[in-house]
Amino acid sequence: MAAIQTRVLELQQDLERAKRSERKAGQKNLEAAEKFSSVNFEFRYLNHMGAGYREQPGQKTATEIELDRLKSIMHDAESYWLATQRKSKGIHAVLLCVQAELENNEEIEREAEDERCRTEEMHRQRREEKRKRYQAARAERKVREQEAQKRATAAKEEEEAKARERRRRFESGSKWEEYTNAQNRQREENRRSNFHPYLPEPVVFTTRVPRRDPNAAAKWRVATEDFSRHLNRTSLNHPGKAAVRWSNAAVRLALF
């Protein structure tokens, strides 16, 4: 491309020089033609007036010799002018060919540049789409991670809540068990301290509820409640009476 552009510049300079030479040759040709016409007119005028003469027959006069010289100069100037015209036309034709080649190369380069721009634009769009897909996938992955983290946090909190509930229940159960054990021990100590020291340990009679009598279960419950009520009411204030009533209630239970 640079070589063709340089060649175009050189041809343009050659064409300018050829044009200048053509103009100079045309000017010289015009001057020679004008001078020849002037001398020829003068010669013809003299011949017409009868002033023109020859020293010897068949010999040219000085005016005719000058006309021949001017005619030769005019022909040479015209030939040179025509040659400069042909040279200018040749240079101009070569310049047109080189300019056409340059335009063709420029068109090829423009097409290549357009193709390169389209390719770059396509690659840019693909990179942009890839970047958008990556950002969307990254955002989606971040959302999934946040949701998973939330689920893990919720599961952890739920597990901790369950653990706290189990610990609370265990502690409550342990405290309740300790409380009931302490109440049972206190009740057992109170029960033992309510009896006379010389009386033997009470004997607990257990009886099975007979199923053949439909009223036996009700009587058995009434006797049990009566036993507990009398025992609790008199165990603190009257240890002796409590022992007697306890024995009577035990006997009544045994009768069932």
Whether residue 199 is predicted with pLDDT greater than 60 in this model: the reply is: no
Q: How far apart are CA 146 and CA 98, in angstroms?
A: 70
pLDDT score for 75: 82
Please check the confidence at residue 223 and state whether its pLDDT lies above 80.
Answer: no
Residue with the larger pLDDT of the pair 206 and 20 = 20
pLDDT at position 219: 67
The type of residue at 40 is N
pLDDT for 20 equals 83
What is the average pLDDT value for the chain, to the nearest integer?
74
Give the mean model confidence (pLDDT) for residues 45-57: 52
Is the pLDDT at 61 greater than 70, yes or no?
A: no
More confident residue, 214 or 235: 214
**Measured CA distances, 119 to 110, 123, 128, 195 (Å):** 14, 6, 14, 111
DSSP character string of 150-178:
HHHHHHHHHHHHHHHHHHHHHHHHHHHHH
Decide: 38 and 114 in contact? Cβ < 8 Å: no
Give one word for 236, left, alpha or beta, with left for phi > 0 and alpha for psi -120 to 50.
alpha
The pLDDT value recorded for residue 99 is 83
Q: Which residue has the tokens 């597990």?
A: 159
What average pLDDT score do residues 133-141 get? 93
For residues 69-92, give the mean pLDDT.
Answer: 82
CA 27 to chain CA centroid, Å, is: 75
Q: What is the pLDDT of residue 77?
A: 80
Model-wide pTM > 0.85: no
227-241 pLDDT tens trace: 666 556 555 555 555
pLDDT of residue 198: 46
Q: How far is CA 255 from CA 34, 228, 251, in A?
A: 179, 17, 6
Q: How far apart are CA 110 and CA 2, in angstroms?
A: 15
More confident site: 253 or 13: 13
Percentage of residues of the chain with pLDDT beyond 90: 18
If you average pLDDT over residues 54-81, what whole number do you get? 72
- Concatenating the DSSP letter of every residue in the chain gives -HHHHHHHHHHHHHHHHHHHHHHHHHHHHHHHHHHHHHHHHHHHHHHHHT----SSTTPPPHHHHHHHHHHHHHHHHHHHHHHHHHHHHHHHHHHHHHHHHHHHHHHHHHHHHHHHHHHHHHHHHHHHHHHHHHHHHHHHHHHHHHHHHHHHHHHHHHHHHHHHHHHHHHHHHHHHHHHHHHHHHHHHHHHHHHS-TTSPPP-----PPPSSSTTHHHHHHHHHHHHHHHHHHHTTT-HHHHHHHHHHHHHHHHH-
